[in-house]
Amino acid sequence: MSKFVDMDLYNRYKDDILKLTNAKQRIEPQTSHRGLTDREIASRLGLAVADVTEIRCIAEIEMISLEKYLDAEDIKEQRYKRAPGKI
């Protein structure tokens, strides 16, 4: 069950949580980055796992621009339209 996260808590930890996950693909030569689980992030930052999960989910959604979101909806709609005359 999701819960509401305090905005101050969200604003304080959003960037740190995103840095510790694989929310953005990182391609750096000679470097490997395994994103941490929500449980690992919570332990590292001293937060509840539920808070980390909620902050991560909201922050990942905020990374998507409205334009890209709407474009994706249009692409999905076109992909799954039935061809004329087919049942």
Q: What is the pLDDT of residues 45-78, one digit of tens each?
A: 999 999 999 999 999 889 888 888 777 777 777 7
Number of domains in the chain: 1
pLDDT interval class at 1 (50, 70, 90): very low
Residue 50's nearest CA partner among 39, 60, 61 is 39
Domain membership of residue 38 as a residue range = 7-79
Q: Residue 45: inside a domain, yes or no?
A: yes
Q: Residue 85: inside a domain, yes or no?
A: no
Residue 67: per-residue pLDDT = 83
Close Cβ partners of 86 (under 8 Å, ≥ 6 residues apart): none
Q: Residue 73: inside a domain, yes or no?
A: yes
What average pLDDT score do residues 10-17 get?
Answer: 96
Residue 34: per-residue pLDDT = 76
What average pLDDT score do residues 21-27 get?
Answer: 69
Q: Residue 60: inside a domain, yes or no?
A: yes
Q: Residue 1: inside a domain, yes or no?
A: no
What average pLDDT score do residues 73-87 get?
Answer: 68
Q: Residue 49: inside a domain, yes or no?
A: yes
What average pLDDT score do residues 18-34 get?
Answer: 72
Q: Residue 15: inside a domain, yes or no?
A: yes
Q: Residue 2: inside a domain, yes or no?
A: no
